[in-house]
Structure 1
């Protein structure tokens, strides 16, 4: 549906609505082999790597 249907959108040069950068990221993974620990504190670079590489186990 068109973005104009969203209420309370911030309009600037073009219709854009954004918030501040995320402070915490929850990364869900189907890690059947236990490579990633259940809870990890990752650097921004590590988070980007695992997200872009699509880290998951083929179940």
Structure 2
């Protein structure tokens, strides 16, 4: 994964671990830890919006 800087994995209680990454072109990435080659890509702004919504509890029904 050249060009992507991955953060440390985030692991919920008993759930899969996810990693968030960014690159120099302003893209953001999210992947299951250990499967970074199968990532989703979007803008950093879209990733920020996703994280804000998750923190606000708007994805709790998916868990």
Q: Same fold (TM over 0.5)?
A: no
- Structure with greater proportional helix content: 2
**Which has the bigger relative contact order, CA under 8 A and spacing at least 6?**
1
Write 1 or 2 for the structure with the bigger share of strand.
Answer: 2
For the pair shown, which has the larger CA radius of gyration, 1 or 2? Answer: 1
TM-score, normalization by structure 1: 0.31
